[in-house]
Amino acid sequence: MQSFQQDCVELALEKFRRGEISRRGLMAGLAALGAAAALPDPAQAQAAQRLVMVNWGGIANQGFGNNYGKPFEAANPGVTVVQDSTGPSAGRIRSMVESGRVTWDLCDSSATSAFLLGGMNLLNPVDYSVVDRANVIGPTFALEHGAAPYSFSSVLVYDSSKFATAPTGWADFWDLQKFPGTRLLRRDAAGALDAAQMALGKDIASLYPLDIRACLAKVREIRRSLVFWTSGSESEQFIRTGEAVMGQIWHTRAKVLEAESNGRFKFIWNQGILQPGIFVSPRGNPGGALAQRLLASMLANAAGQVELLKLMGNGPTNPNAAALVPEEFKKYNPTEPANARVQVAQDGRWWGQNYAQANADYIDMVTG
């Protein structure tokens, strides 16, 4: 609803346009109303048509901007998509929605956060009349409160100069006799416990639900030989500097290590934990339903997803994308059919229900 003050501003502007008052007079009048800042300028005229995407920094600004934002801007004249790299942690999204001053439209989040925040009614449900479920390769990529235009995987990386034979899966990760040396895990239950469950020998086709207690005990077994990472760059550093000889890290970092070390550090797709890069939309987002259309376009744009794979290594999730991936990038694409086949799709729903408790227990065990 328009306030009185806004009406005054409007009137003054009309007078200015008709030449009844000078520019100086207009500004003085607006200043008196405390409304000079509310003067509509070209940038603000578009404000209603502006969408804010939030990522975690690095080259994501460029990657997401060029491959998600630009195509949408081109298809929808008058809309601008801006990138923000503040890092949309679940806690930040919660405080933003609860304070009632939401400035974000689409956030690069995760399946667990989508379930966690969605369960607290802090997210817009994905409108599947706008977003097409057929645009993703599997059900774990299209959730109730978020959808994934890219994927990533937690893979086993190892220092090939340290071992005569190559490890082939998580059972080898736990085998300190055959593969001696420090291990590297993320300080996060999601990923680590999935691997532990595989090391326990459970059939990969029916990996979930995980037996949390048994998995935690399995990690505890090798606790003295573990170091933990909390950020991607840290994980790379641990392997590069020889702090750990085997680790579970994101495939994007594993690729960098392999390329930089001329193959000394290798990684395997086998038993990798394939995860969706879920984008969520905070409830009460400024761009409203337009955010759903942006999400839909991100999922539909196979070519853009392939460009992102080339730039940052994020795996495409559009079923048509695999055919567009150039030969030299197939090896590093987590959703390349040959690679996806040997991995496990992480069950975001199970994790969403169990994450808070399992992760607290995991951290207790790690720090104990």
Partner 1 sequence: MIRRQDAGWWLLILPAFLLMTAFYVAPIAQVLAISFTEPTPGLGNYERLFTSDSVQRVIITTLRICLITTALSLLLGYVLSYRIALSSPSAQRWWILAVLVPLWISVLVRAFAWVTLLRRQGLVNETLMATGVITEPLALVWNEFGIIVGMVHYMVPYAVLPMLASMREIDPRLLAAARGLGASRFTIFGRIFLPLSLPGLLAAGLLVFIFSLGFYITPALLGGGRTLMVAEWIGLQILDLLRWGLGTMMATMLVVAILTTLAVFARVVDLRRIFGGGA
Binding site for partner 1 (CB under 8 A): 89-92, 94, 116-117, 120, 187, 226-230, 241-243, 356, 359-360, 363-364, 366-368
- What the block records as the tokens of 260 is 């930089």
- Residue 209 preceded by cis peptide, ω within 30: yes
| Least distance CB 364 / partner 1 (angstroms) | 4
The residue type at 73: E
d(CA 191, CA 248): 8
Name the residue nearer to partner 1 (CB basis): 11 or 360.
Answer: 360
Name the residue nearer to partner 1 (CB basis): 296 or 358.
Answer: 358
Name the residue nearer to partner 1 (CB basis): 13 or 227.
Answer: 227
d(CA 65, CA 85): 11
DSSP-derived pairing of the beta strands 265-280 and 146-159: antiparallel
| Least distance CB 253 / partner 1 (angstroms) | 16
Q: Tell me which DSSP letter residue 269 carries.
A: E
| CA atoms 303, 304, 310, 315: torsion sign | negative
Name the residue nearer to partner 1 (CB basis): 243 or 307.
Answer: 243
Name the residue nearer to partner 1 (CB basis): 195 or 321.
Answer: 195
Burial 220-242, CB ≥16 within 10 A → b, else e: eebeebbebbeebebbbebbbee
316, 308 contact by CB (below 8 A): yes
| Least distance CB 333 / partner 1 (angstroms) | 29
| Least distance CB 225 / partner 1 (angstroms) | 11
| Least distance CB 355 / partner 1 (angstroms) | 8
Name the residue nearer to partner 1 (CB basis): 206 or 241.
Answer: 241
187, 230 contact by CB (below 8 A): yes
| Least distance CB 191 / partner 1 (angstroms) | 13
d(CA 308, CA 284): 29
d(CA 72, CA 55): 17
| Least distance CB 26 / partner 1 (angstroms) | 34
Name the residue nearer to partner 1 (CB basis): 69 or 146.
Answer: 146
Tokens 């420090």 correspond to 182
Name the residue nearer to partner 1 (CB basis): 289 or 356.
Answer: 356
Q: Which of 66, 136, 68, 74 is nearest to 105 (CA)?
A: 68
| Least distance CB 112 / partner 1 (angstroms) | 9
Q: Is 8 helix (H, G, I), strand (E, B) or coil?
A: helix
